[in-house]
Structure 1
C-alpha cells in the first residue's frame, strides 16, 4: 500500500495481562522515486516528534486510512512488525496490519491508549482531574471516561461542575462515580471560598456586619443553580410517579439512626458529656438535683445559686435527656430546666451561646432591616403576603413598641416562607387556665400557647412540649420565643418540616448558630437536604443587598 511520506503512524498497545505499555509496531519504510524505479533505502522516523496516540480501534483505523496533507515529494511503502507480546508477524500493507491488530483486540490482548509515561506537561486536565481522585482506576476505563467527557462537551475544569452521575456510568462503578462527583463539587465549593475571600465586600453573606453561616453559601447556591439550569433540557421529561409504601426500602446513604444522632448534635459543642466534673460524684449530683427541686418550690430562690447548681449538674442533665427520658419525667426531676433561668444556663453550656442575650443583640442589629424589607419589598412581590400583612396591621392596631415589632417580624417571616402560624402558636382564651388547654389539638413539637385572640393582645404565654405544659406563666413574647427555640436543642428535637425555613432563619440570623454541615430539620423521606436551606439563603442575600436607611 502506498502512503504519503511524513505521515508516521504509531499505535501504543496496552496489554490487559501486563501492567507495562507494549512498544508500538515497528515501521520500516522504503522510499520509491516518482519514476517508479527501484531506488530504495530503509529509513526510520523520529517517533518522539511524530507520534499519534489512539485510544480506540476506530480512531486508530481512521488515522491509518486518513489522507495526510503533509508535503512530501516521494511516496513510501509501509512494512510493519506487530509488537504485541508473543507475536512477531510482519505486514506489507496497512490493511493487513489493521486487521491483525483488530484480532488482538478481540482476544483482549491489547487496547489503544495514551502513553502511560506521559510527562506532566503532556497530561490533559481531564486525566489529572480523574486520576487525582481515582489513582487506581484502570487505564482502559480512564480513557473511555475521558473520551466520553470530551464527547459531551467538557473542555475546561469549570465544565466538570455540569457533569452528572449518569455521565460517569459509562466507565465507572456507582461508588467510583460518586467519589469523583463529590471531589469535583468540593473543588467548586473551594472556588467559591476563594472568590469570597478575594471580594468579601461584594460576595460575602453579611447582614449589618454579622457574617451569616460560612459567608459563602449564597455564592455556592448560585453556582449550583447555574449548573441545574444548564442541565435542564428544553423538552420536559415526564416520569411516572412511583407508589411508595411504609415498608419501602430506604435508599439513604446514612442510616436513619445515625442521621438522627447527627441532627441531635447539630449546633452543639457539648452534646454528650462523657465524664463528670473533677469535683463531682454521682452522689453529689443527686444531692444537687434534689436541692434544685426544693428551691423551685420557693419563689425567693437565689438566681445565682440556681445558675451555679444548674451548671454543675449539666453532666447529669445531658445523660438523662440523651438516655431518652420523657419530657414529663425530666420536668419532675429538673423543674428549673424548663424555666427561663435554667434553660439559659443549659443552652449556654450546650451551644456556647447566651440564648436571650444573643437574640436581643441580633434583633437590634437586623430586626429593623428585616421588618423594613418585609413591609416595603415583599408586599409588592406577593398578593398573598400583602393580604397577610394587611390582616396583621388590623390586628396590631395602634400598638407600638419593640415587642410588637418582634411579633410582626415573626408572623411576617412565617408568611414569607409560606409556613403555618398554627405550627408555632396555639391560641386559647385569655382567661384559660393550664388544665383547660386542649392539648390533644396541640402539635407535639415545641409550641407557644398564646392566651388571647392574638399575639399582640396577649399578656401571658405558655409553652407546650410533647403535649405537656412545661411552663404556664411566661410574661413576654420574646421570652416565650426564646424558650420555644431553646427547647429544640436542649431536648434533642428536630425542626418540623412545617417550620423548617422559619426556624433555620431564626437560628442563623438571630441566634447565631451557623454549622457548616448537617441540618436539624426532620427528614420524612429519603430526599437529602442541603446544609443550608436555599430559601433561607435567598432571604439572607436579599437582606444583605437591601438598603433601608
Structure 2
C-alpha cells in the first residue's frame, strides 16, 4: 500500500509577491522531505502515468503527491536555462491535467483560477457584453458589430468566447493571437498535422468558436492539454500556463491577456506587465517581457467599464 502524503496547500509557506503576482515562486523543500525523496515520488508518478495514463490523476494519492512535489516542480521550471514545455510534460505529465494545472496556479498565486474565471464570466462577462452592445465611442465598431451579430444569431452560444473576441476586437488584436479553430472531431495529432501551431500558447476550440464545448491547449507548437470540455475551463488552463511555466504574453494578444489578469483574476501589480520584447531562451525568438509601466490601453478600458457600470 502506498504511504499517505499529508502535505496540503496550506502546509506550503507563502512568500513575498515579488514575481508579478506570485507568492510561492520558489518554495522551500517540505519539512521532513529531501530532494532525493521528492525525486522518488516524481518517478512514482511518471511510472503511474505510463501504466494508467491521465486516468491516474483521479487517484487521491496522485493529487497529494503533486502537492508534495510542488517545490521540485518549481525548481525544475525555474532552472536556468529553462526546460522546454515538452521536457516538463515528460517529467511531470500530471501537471498537464487541467485540475493539476489549476492546483499549481493556486499554490503559485493563492488564486483558485477556475472558480475565479467562472465567476468573472458570470459577472464581469455580462457587463462587458452590455458595454459593447451600447458601443461607446472608441470601440472598433465594425468588428464588434460582426461579433455581436454572430452571438445573437446562435441559440446555444457560449458567452465566454464572445467576451474574449470582443476584448480582442477592442484592442485591435486578431483572434488567432489567442484562439484557433479546428474540426469538431479533431484529435491532437490531427491538429499538429494540419495547423502550423505557434510557439506561444493557444486555446484550440473544436468547431465554431461561438458554440464549441471542447478545447485543447498548445504550447511551443504542440498540443499539450486536451481535448476537454467547457470553454471557460479551457480559458482558465490557457491563462494558468503563462504563470505555471514562466511564459510571457505574446504580443498579438498581450492587451487581452493583461485585461483578463487584472479584471477577471484580480492580479494587479502596481507596476509592470508580462509583456515586452526579449529573446526567449526556449525558442530563440523575440517575445515579450515585463517593463515598469502598467498597460495604458488596459487601464483605460477598465476605467471605462467602471464608469459604464456606475452610470
**Which range, TM-score by smaller chain?**
0.7 to 0.9
CA contact (8 A) 1:379 1:385 kept: no
Equivalent of 1:318 in 66, 71, 74: 74
Equivalent of 1:272 in 26, 36, 44: 26
Report how far residue 502 of structure 1 moved: 0.3
Quick one: structure 1 residues 276 and 436, their matched pair in 2 at CA, closer, same or farther if it must change by over 3 Å? same
> Which ranges in structure 1 are unaligned for 5 or more consecutive residues?
1-263
CA contact (8 A) 1:373 1:548 kept: no
Higher relative contact order (Cα pairs below 8 Å, separated by 6+ residues): 2
* Structure with higher helix content: 2
- 1:497 is the counterpart of 2:251: yes
Report how far residue 291 of structure 1 moved: 2.6
Deviations 1:265-290 (A, max 9, x none): 222112123x3111111222022212
Corresponding residue of 1:361: 119
Equivalent of 1:399 in 156, 179, 203: 156
CA contact (8 A) 1:270 1:351 kept: yes
Distance between the aligned counterparts of 2:137 and 2:156, measured in 1? 21
Distance between the aligned counterparts of 1:283 and 1:528, measured in 2? 35
CA contact (8 A) 2:182 2:205 kept: yes
Quick one: structure 1 residues 535 and 314, their matched pair in 2 at CA, closer, same or farther if it must change by over 3 Å? same
CA contact (8 A) 1:426 1:442 kept: no
Distance between the aligned counterparts of 1:368 and 1:501, measured in 2? 20
Quick one: structure 1 residues 301 and 523, their matched pair in 2 at CA, closer, same or farther if it must change by over 3 Å? closer
CA contact (8 A) 2:66 2:100 kept: yes
Distance between the aligned counterparts of 1:307 and 1:522, measured in 2? 36
Corresponding residue of 1:292: 45
Report how far residue 413 of structure 1 moved: 0.8
Q: SS at 2:204's partner residue? A: strand
Provide TM-score, normalisation by structure 1.
Answer: 0.48
Report how far residue 348 of structure 1 moved: 1.1
Report how far residue 338 of structure 1 moved: 0.9
Deviations 1:49-83 (A, max 9, x none): xxxxxxxxxxxxxxxxxxxxxxxxxxxxxxxxxxx
Distance between the aligned counterparts of 1:410 and 1:527, measured in 2? 22
CA contact (8 A) 1:411 1:421 kept: yes
Distance between the aligned counterparts of 1:450 and 1:521, measured in 2? 25
> Which ranges in structure 2 are unaligned for 5 or more consecutive residues?
1-17, 279-285
Report how far residue 473 of structure 1 moved: 1.6
Deviations 1:313-361 (A, max 9, x none): 0111011111111211111111111111111111111111111112222
Quick one: structure 1 residues 301 and 443, their matched pair in 2 at CA, closer, same or farther if it must change by over 3 Å? closer
Provide TM-score, normalisation by structure 2.
Answer: 0.82
Q: How many residues align?
A: 280
Corresponding residue of 1:445: 200
- 1:309 is the counterpart of 2:65: yes
- 1:345 is the counterpart of 2:99: no
Quick one: structure 1 residues 278 and 529, their matched pair in 2 at CA, closer, same or farther if it must change by over 3 Å? closer
Deviations 1:355-385 (A, max 9, x none): 1112222333322111110111348854323
